[in-house]
Amino acid sequence: MKIVQLTQGTPEWHAHRAQHYNASDAPAMLGCSPYKSRQDLLREVATGIVPEVDAATQKRFDDGHRFEAWARTLAEEIIGEELFPCVGVADGGIYSASFDGLTLLEDTAWEHKSLNNELRAAMVDGCTGADLPKLYRVQMEQQALVSGAERVLFMASKWDAAGDLIEERHCWYTPDPELRAEIIAGWEQFDLDVDSYQTEPAAAPEAVGRAPDQLPALHIEVTGMVTASNLHQWKDAAIAVFQGISTDLTTDQDFADAEKTVKWCGEIEDQLKAAKQHALGQTASIDELFRTIDAISAEARAKRLELDKLVKSRKEAVRTEILTAGREAVRAHVDQINSSLGQHAIPLPATLTADLAAAIKGKKSFTSMRDAVDATVANAKIASSQTAERVRANVAILAKHDDHASLFADRILLCASKSPEDLGNLVAARIADFEAREAKRLEEERERIRKEEAERLEREQLEAAQAREAEKAPPTPPADAEASAAAEPVATARSTVASVASAGAAPTPAGARIKLGDLNELIAPISITAQGLASIGFKPVGSERAAKLYALADLPAICTKLGQIVEAAPARAAQKKAA
Tens-place pLDDT, residues 159-168: 998 889 999 9
Does 18 or 398 have the greater pLDDT score?
Answer: 398
pTM of structure: 0.54
pLDDT at residue 254, rounded to an integer:
79
DSSP string, 112-150: EEE--HHHHHH--TT--GGGS-HHHHHHHHHHHHHH--S
Cα radius of gyration (the chain):
50
Q: Give ∠ CA 370-374-376 in degrees, rounded to 5.
A: 120
Give the integer Cα–Cα distance in Å for 42 and 32.
14
pLDDT at 50 over 90: no
Strand pairing class (151-159; 165-173)? antiparallel
Reduced to 3 states, what is the DSSP secondary structure of residue 400? Answer: coil
DSSP per-residue string spanning 471-527: HHSPPPPPGGGHHHHHHHHHHHHHHHHHHHHHHTTS---TT-EEEHHHHHHHTTTS-
Q: Could you give the CA distance from residue 417 to residue 411 in angstroms, rounded to a whole number?
A: 10
pLDDT at 305: 84
Q: Which residue has the higher pLDDT, 353 or 495?
A: 353
Report yes or no: 307 and 262 within 8 Å, Cβ to Cβ. Answer: yes
- 8 Å CB contact between 488 and 462: no
How far is the C-alpha of 431 from the C-alpha of 161, rounded, in Å? 68
Per-residue pLDDT, 265 = 83
Domains of the chain with CATH codes: 2-195 (3.90.320.10), 204-403 (no CATH), 487-578 (no CATH)
In angstroms, rounded to a whole number, what is the distance separating the alpha carbons of residues 150 and 102? 11
> How distant, in Å, are the alpha carbons of 28, 184, 344 from that of 351?
21, 22, 20
Q: Which of 140-149, 189-198, 221-230 has the highest mean pLDDT?
A: 140-149
Average pLDDT over residues 372-388: 91
